[in-house]
Amino acid sequence: MPAIVSVAEAIPEHVLRQDQVMDFARDLFSESFKDIERLLKAFRNGQIEKRHFAKGLEWFKTDKSFEERNNAYIDQAIDLGTKAIKCCLENDIFLSKNLPCKEIDAIFTISSSGIATPSIEARIMNRLPFSEHTKRIPIWGLGCAGGASGLSRAYEYCLAFPEAKVLVLSIELCSLTFQRNDRSKSNLIGTSLFADGAACALITGDDVKRDFQKLSSIPRILGTQSTTMRNSLEVMGWEVKNEGLYVVFSKDIPSIIESWLKPNVTEFLRGKGKKMEEINHFVAHPGGKKVIDAYQKALKFDPSMTRISLDVLKEFGNMSSATILYVLKRFMEIGRLGDTGLAAALGPGFSSELLLLEWE
C-alpha cells in the first residue's frame, strides 16, 4: 500500500494573538450586534491562542477589492507553497537525504481560498527544478476536507502507478477572503476561527525504493472513503459576490457531526475489517473546539485521542485543508510499528473524507 513518507509545514510570518483579533472584531461588529460581548465569547471558548496570517492586522482595516485579495493570495501562495515543498523534500525529521524535485511524478494542489489559472503549482514549477513532465492535479472547492481528500487521491494515484512519488500541497489563505462589510454571524465566527497556512506531504507507491526514508516506521494508507450528504449544500462553503468570497458556516455543524459521523466511520472500518477500539491514533481535522467535542461524542473517543488536534487548533487555528497535514505531521513523529490510525476531515458538500492508516 502507498505510504506517507514526509510532511512539512510553511507558516505565514504575521502572528496574531486571539485577544488582538477579538479587539479588532469588537470594533468592527459592535454597531451590528447589541449583544456583541456575548458573541465575542466565541473567541475565548474556541481555545485558539494564536494564529498566523499572510498579512498584518492593519491590512484588514481598509476595504480591499476582490482583485487585491486574490492577487495577494497568488503571491503568498507561491511563496508558502515553494517553502512547504522544499521543507518536505529536504526534511531532517523524516528523510535521510534530500529528494530532488525532478523525481516527483505528480503534484496535487489543494486550495479553496483563492483562484489562480495557471494554477499555483505551475507557478511554483518556475521556481523549483521539477521535471517539465510532472503531472499537475489542482483541486479546488473541498474546503476543510481538502487535505484528507488530497491524500486519498494521491493514494489512488500511487496504486495505479506504484513507482510514483507524489506531493500533496495544501495552501489556504483564509484571512485574505475576509469581508469587513459582512456583518453576519457566520463572518464573526469565521473571524474567530480561520487562519492561514500551507503544508506538503510526500506519498510513494509500493515499488519505490525508499532509501531516503529516515523513520523506522511510517504510515501506509490501507483504504479511503469519501461521503457526501445529500441536500446539505448550505452547511458550509462560499457565497461568491462581486466583492469576493463570503463565508457560509452553519451553527448546526457540531450536531450534524454527532448524528452523521459515527455510522459513516463504522461502515468504513467494518469494510476494512477493523473496529473502533483498534484505532490508536485519530488524525482529525480540527474544525473548531465544538467540532472536536462532536468527534468525541460521536465516536465515543477519550479526550486524549483528540489532544494533538486540539493542540494544533490552539497554536494555528483552522487553516482549512492544510490543518490535517499539521496534525498528521505530529502523529508521524510518535507513531510506532503496528499502530493503526484513522484520519478524518469534513468539508463543504457536506462531506467527509476518511483514511485508514497503519504504521509499517
Which residues are annotated as catalytic? 144
How many Å apart are CA 284 and CA 328, to the nearest integer? 8
Give start and end residues of each alpha helix (H) in 4-95.
18-29, 36-39, 41-45, 66-89
List all residues 6 or more positions away from 332 whose beta carbon is below 8 Å from its beta carbon. Answer: 4, 7, 94, 215, 218, 219
Cis peptide before 350 (omega within 30 of 0): yes
Return the beta strands (E) in 131-164 as ranges.
135-140
How many Å apart are CA 255 and CA 286, to the nearest integer? 15
List all residues 6 or more positions away from 109 whose beta carbon is below 8 Å from its beta carbon. Answer: 81, 119, 120, 121, 136, 137, 138, 139, 169, 170, 171
How many Å apart are CA 21 and CA 129, to the nearest integer? 39
What 3-state class would DSSP assign to 187? helix
CB 8 within 8 A of CB 84: yes
Instruction: Identify the bridge partners of residue 202 per DSSP, sorted by sequence position.
Output: 6, 167
Q: H/E/C letters for each residue in 329-346?
A: HHHHHHCCCCCEEEEEEE
Length, in residues, of the chain: 360
List all residues 6 or more positions away from 139 whose beta carbon is below 8 Å from its beta carbon. Answer: 108, 109, 110, 111, 146, 149, 150, 153
CB 49 within 8 A of CB 192: no
How many Å apart are CA 356 and CA 222, to the nearest integer? 5
